[in-house]
Amino acid sequence: MWQEIRLTLRLGWPIILGYLTQMALGVIDNAMVGAIHSSQLAAASFVNNIISLPLILGMGLTMAISPLVASAQGEDNNDAPLRILYNGLLIVLLFAIAMAVLITWRLDVVFYLGQDEIVARLAQPYLLWMIWGTVPMVLFIGMKQFADGLGFTRTPMYIALAAIPINVLTNYAFIYGKWGAPRMELEGAGVGTLISRGVIMIALAVLLIRGRQFAPYRQNLKEQLQIRKERLLDVLRIGIPSSLQSGMESSSFAISGIMAGWLGYVQQAAHQIALSIAAITFMVSMGISAAGSIRVAFAYGRKEWKKARDIGTSTLWMAVGYGLFCAIIFIGFRQKLPLLFNDEAAVLGYAANLLVLAAAFQISDSVQAVGVGLLRGLQDVKIPTVLVAIAYWGLGIPFGYLLSFTFGMEIQGIWLGFLIGLSFSAILLTYRFLRITGTKYAEKQKKRKAEKPNRKAEVGSGK
């Protein structure tokens, strides 16, 4: 098991840093505008909740790329990866532009979701910049999924890391009106995020077009850079359920953020602080999940079921250990971590209490994220989508609403709903992965045993 853990970490640590970088862009926005006033932090939270669904759906579509590429590698097919990327990016681009146009058309939606008027007014211009920032973001992630699926995880990671100083500098200029830029406060954070995402998208595209390590996959460009029905269907077959899985999780957190707004902007700001911290730790789980998914997909391409099961089991144990570590950190530093975002006493008090509840679901959150990724590596996505839907929308949101508004637990009730939904998802996804790989391995062993007598008979007959 330890050998498998080492191999997964070797592949996964650059992916983990890449995911953390993506999350850091939002956290940087929250931290920099939170220093101005809690109403700006609440508006940032509100916008992030609105755009989280189209962003996560677009990212979910890209999640089909890495397991398909890794599986093609397992089959020793070097022509397939670029075809998968080209057709996958086409789907992602069309989706992202459609979502950006739709939300731009209805920017006034911010005034109809029960938020404080000051929050809605601050949110509207920020929403415009952020929704168009999803377009370069999902294209970057799609190209990164391609590189990760081939095992080239480090260079895309370095490009992703470069987004952090770019975002900090552009945010500083446009939020506070420095270096000749206009003072735009929260809206300026949107400008900075759009610029940083555009820069890293262009940089990764240049790497894929000119990079030496990707040259073996660019040998038949005329053939590879064509729209192919079978490749579009492959991406959609895995991408749509993966997108729905991510979308249902993200939208449940987005709805919870809107419900938190019904309790007042102080509780909403505390909710966003605790959620931002939990989201950072979740990005590590996503990186572990992605690495496990790629390795399982490679084994799947070779039909090595025992190998796939061993990789998956070790990755699940990694998730348990990591979740326990995060829980300890959350409880131990629950008073200190919120200070990174805000210093208002009322906000800090709520945020500290929420971090205790966040600690309670760290293990289940990490395990369910890994479970989804491992099943995606087996190209098993339909049943997991149903399980995720039940976990979040059948249990998490209803229980959160009931506990918060019926039983008077307010913001703590919403977070207890998270705990219920995540625990259900973690248990059932883990069971499904172990059952599928166990059954496939048993079938392969049975087939081998059945073939042995036939081979002996052939030898005995002189054939």
In-domain check, residue 304: yes
Which has the closest alpha carbon to 18: 125, 127, 152, 177?
152
Tokens at 400, concatenated: 């959160």
Distance (Å, whole) CA 118 – CA 144: 38
Residue pLDDT, tens place only, 131-180: 898 899 889 989 998 888 888 888 888 888 888 888 889 888 888 888 88
How confident is the model at residue 72, as a pLDDT? 79
SS3 of 225, please?
Answer: coil
What is the pLDDT at residue 327? 93
Res 452: pLDDT:
65
Q: Phi, psi (5° rounding) for residue 105?
A: -65, -35
Distance of alpha carbon 153 from alpha carbon 155, whole angstroms: 6
Q: Which two tokens stand for residue 370?
A: 């890994």
The reply to whether 457 falls in a domain is no
Q: How many domains does the chain have?
A: 1
CA 153 to chain centre: 16
pLDDT in tens, the chain (463 residues): 778 888 888 887 888 887 777 767 767 777 777 666 767 777 877 787 777 778 878 888 888 888 888 887 777 777 778 888 888 888 889 989 999 999 888 888 777 777 777 888 888 888 888 889 889 988 998 999 888 888 888 888 888 888 888 888 988 888 888 888 888 877 888 888 889 889 999 999 999 888 888 887 777 766 666 777 777 777 888 878 887 887 787 778 778 877 887 888 788 888 888 887 888 888 888 889 988 988 998 888 888 888 889 999 999 999 999 999 999 999 999 888 888 777 778 888 888 888 988 888 888 999 999 999 899 888 888 898 899 889 888 898 899 899 988 888 888 888 888 889 889 999 999 999 999 988 887 877 777 777 666 655 555 555 4
> Is 135 part of any domain?
yes
Q: For residue 259, give the nearest of 116, 127, 411 by alpha carbon.
A: 411
Calpha distance 67→62 (Å, rounded): 10
Contact (Cβ atoms closer than 8 angstroms) between residue 126 and residue 43: yes
Instruction: Answer yes or no: is 449 within a domain.
Output: no
Query: Tokens at residue 266, please?
Result: 């102080």
Handedness of CA 257, 261, 265, 266 (dihedral sign): negative
How far from chain centre, in Å, is Cα 33?
A: 24
> Does residue 391 form part of some domain?
yes
CA distances from 14 to 11, 159, 161, 369 (A): 7, 11, 10, 18
CA separation for the pair 308, 440 (Å, rounded): 10
Residue 451 included in any domain: no
Q: What is the pLDDT of residue 456?
A: 54
User: How much is the pLDDT for 358?
Assistant: 87
pLDDT digits (tens, 9 = 90+) for 299-341: 888 888 888 899 999 999 999 999 999 999 999 998 888 887 7
**Cα(271)–Cα(261) distance, integer angstroms:** 9
Which domain does 415 fall in, by range? 2-444
Separation between Cα atoms, residue 280 and residue 341, nearest integer Å: 14
Q: Which H or E run contains 110? A: none
Q: Is residue 254 part of a domain?
A: yes
* Token pair recorded at residue 238: 């895995």
- Asked if residue 88 belongs to a domain, the reply is yes
Give Cα 151 to chain centroid, integer Å: 19
Q: What is the secondary structure of 172-212 as a DSSP string? A: HHHHHT-TT----THHHHHHHHHHHHHHHHHHHHHHHHH-G
DSSP 369-405: HHHHHHHHHTT--HHHHHHHHIIIIIIIHHHHHIIII
